[in-house]
Amino acid sequence: MKTVLVTGASGYIGSHVCYELVQNGFIVDGIDVVDSENTRELVKHLRNYWRRDIGNSNIKGAYDIVVHCAASISVEESMSDPSGYYENNVSNTLQLIRDIKTSHFIFASTAGAFNPISPYAKSKIFAEDIIKQHCDNYTILRFFNVAGSNGKFRQIGKSTHLIRIAAEVAAGKRQKMTIFGKNYVTRDGTCIRDYIHVVDLANAIVNAAKEQAQNNDYECIAAGKGFTNKEVCDTMIKVSGVPFDIEYGENREGDPATLTVHGNLSSYLDIKYTLEDMCKSTYEMEMKA
């Protein structure tokens, strides 16, 4: 059986990835700088779990595969703290490559790399370049907006993603829903994004781990269809059965009007879930929390 190290293992994406890898017969170790509510369930499935920063982990060794999910991920935060994002997303990636030997490095990048306005997106591009320069075999996955849950793990920490924020409003945890910008050149004036269910994403990583690295520039991980922010909120209202008002704020710095698939979807994908599934499972997890 192949051994896998997953960084950011207690995070939203990392926890789902660990779970699906284990379900598919991989031996998985996890590392994350924090313990979260996901960790209690996660450690049941892992061989080892370390609460450490990958930039100073003191973990050295070899794995068949490394899945690098650990990162700072807020576009808004990166605009005010660009150096912190370069340190965590770029320098720590290089340190991980130096510390851990692997025959297949799988990197969780971002679709923001197609239109790198924010330091967050730029930091991911720099990390991609480092991986290409230092790793003999790699898979770079550019994720579009990730949402949903498998019913075991959830998004943690401060809410920054639209679907989770809308779910919190529907669950009564927020008083209002604010969409940033209504004058973009789109069908209803709000930003358009492509969304991928986290389980579909995790299974794409499993499929990549089962194969030899192709060393492509990147793989597009998305559902292949764009939805406006207003359409997402309307979908949340529909699946939750909870009507809520929508307010509009100013355009947010760092947000492109449209971010959808550039080029073909990855062959690692087998899409099974819809936007409705993403909204419903996110809402259900917020109601349970």
Count of domains for the chain: 1
Percent of the chain with pLDDT over 90: 85
Mean pLDDT, rounded, of the chain: 95
* Confidence at residue 106, expressed as pLDDT on a 0 to 100 scale: 98
> 49, 85, 86, 120: which one is catalytic?
120
Among all chains, which residue has been given the structure tokens 């973990």?
59
Higher pLDDT, 55 or 248: 248
CATH of the domain at 182: 3.40.50.720
Kindly report, residue by residue over 162-171, the tens digit of the pLDDT. Answer: 999 999 999 9
The reported pTM is 0.93
Residue length of the chain: 289
| In the chain, alpha helices (H) | 12-23, 37-42, 75-80, 82-86, 92-99, 119-134, 162-170, 198-210, 229-240, 275-288
Please say if 86 is a catalytic residue.
no
Higher pLDDT, 239 or 262: 239
pLDDT-derived band at 158, boundaries 50, 70, 90: confident
* Confidence at residue 117, expressed as pLDDT on a 0 to 100 scale: 85
Rounded-to-integer distance, Cα 260 and Cα 143, Å: 10
* Confidence at residue 249, expressed as pLDDT on a 0 to 100 scale: 96
Number of helices (H), then strands (E), in the chain: 10, 15
**pLDDT over 80 at 152, yes or no:** yes
Rounded-to-integer distance, Cα 221 and Cα 266, Å: 6
**pLDDT over 90 at 253, yes or no:** no
**pLDDT over 80 at 254, yes or no:** no
Domain of residue 150, residue span: 3-288
Beta bridge partners of 27: 3
Backbone angles phi, psi at 74, to 5 degrees: -90, 120
* Confidence at residue 236, expressed as pLDDT on a 0 to 100 scale: 98
* Confidence at residue 112, expressed as pLDDT on a 0 to 100 scale: 86
* Confidence at residue 34, expressed as pLDDT on a 0 to 100 scale: 87
Rounded-to-integer distance, Cα 254 and Cα 42, Å: 34
* Confidence at residue 75, expressed as pLDDT on a 0 to 100 scale: 82
The pLDDT of 86-109, averaged and rounded, is 96
**pLDDT over 80 at 239, yes or no:** yes
Beta bridge partners of 228: 192
**pLDDT over 80 at 263, yes or no:** no
**pLDDT over 90 at 63, yes or no:** yes
Measure Cα distances from 8 to 18, 34, 191 in Å: 10, 9, 28
Which residue from 240, 227, 201, 5 is spatially nearest to 103, judged by alpha carbons? 5
pLDDT-derived band at 56, boundaries 50, 70, 90: confident
CA dihedral 260, 285, 9, 207 (to 10 degrees): -50
